[in-house]
Amino acid sequence: MPRHLLSIRDLTRAEVEDLLALTDKCRRGGPGISGALKGKSVALIFDKPSTRTRLACEVACARLGASSVTINGADLQIGRGESLEDSGRVFSQFVDAVCWRTTEQERLTRFATAASIPVINMLSDFEHPCQILSDLAVLRRRFGQSAKIPIAFIGDGANNVSHSWLMAAARLSLDLRIAAPQGYEPRPDILENAREEAARTGATIMITNDPIKAARGARCLYSDVWVSMGQDGERESRVAKFRGYQINSGMLSVAAADAVVMHCLPAHRGEEITSEVMDGPQSIVFEQAQGRLYNAMAVLLWSSRERAEKGKSAAGKPGKKHKKKNKKGGKRK
């Protein structure tokens, strides 16, 4: 079976660490990176609009020597009734990996179940694992490999980025605070699972409706849009409810003196974050955006390596040995 990356939960702690190290290696370049996937082909499927993910994936393939096939999801036969399972089998005959930016997580799961190639979640309504892996690599370069810094996610606690942060925090023993308006906290099942794992790993998880409480002493203030794709009909009510959750100079003043500001973009300036903060000296938003490229390279290399190692392992398994018999039917000594 191929090694998919559909969720942070698909990775052990050691594998997360491996991916973060590989992301940094891709950033630095050198032997084993450029052209490492020469002769490979990667399908990039986009059911949703994309800027950073599309740029990251296409440039990552180019730097690794792989060819990329970018597909608008609406152009696929999936939209005309072909099953996700059949599509997974078909793609497996043509390309070596699939990176998919889609809607429901179930679409990824069903497609991946039938695929014999790695399938990578480049965003679903449920989770955004590669965004968080990329962000963690950026934070480690800033604060050190072993730093357990307080991270404050301010905004919609029930969105895909927040969910992935929860899973990553629990797995990696992080200090995560999520501040969201009442009714926009993380999904109860995800929060319960994260807290159970946090009890084993020593992670600290705070869920609050008070953004200042979450931001106080934090070394990273993290923001995302208040109105995600597909929620435009809720814009007016959401903006009204989230108004006190803007990352501005006042909120930044209660964070740690060396705090950085992150935003996974696109940003709606003047809503969840002010231009003063986003363009200010403590913002690493565009460094964070560039990090998506190195993470895309790392994930493609990792999935290719995992697949190759599994293939070698399967090929190397000893089969049954049949001893030759002599003419009399006895075993040859």
Residues carrying an active site annotation: 101, 128, 131, 224, 264, 292
Count of positions (residues) in the chain = 333
Q: Which two tokens stand for residue 298?
A: 């790392």
Q: How far apart are CA 259 and CA 70, in angstroms?
A: 38
Question: Which of these, 139, 101, 120, lies nearest to 23 by C-alpha position?
Answer: 139
Q: Which two tokens stand for residue 62?
A: 């180019």
Question: Which of these, 292, 295, 296, 297, lies nearest to 36 by C-alpha position?
Answer: 297
Query: Do 96 and 117 meet the contact criterion of CB atoms below 8 Å apart?
Result: yes
Query: Do 99 and 71 meet the contact criterion of CB atoms below 8 Å apart?
Result: no
Q: Which two tokens stand for residue 176?
A: 């995560």
Question: Which of these, 88, 90, 116, 89, lies nearest to 100 by C-alpha position?
Answer: 88
Alpha-carbon separation of residue 8 from 15, 120, 162, 170, 301 (angstroms):
10, 11, 12, 10, 17
**Concatenated DSSP letters for 144-185?**
-TT---EEEEES-TTSHHHHHHHHHHHHHT-EEEEE--TT-S
Question: Which of these, 128, 122, 131, lies nearest to 54 by C-alpha position?
Answer: 122
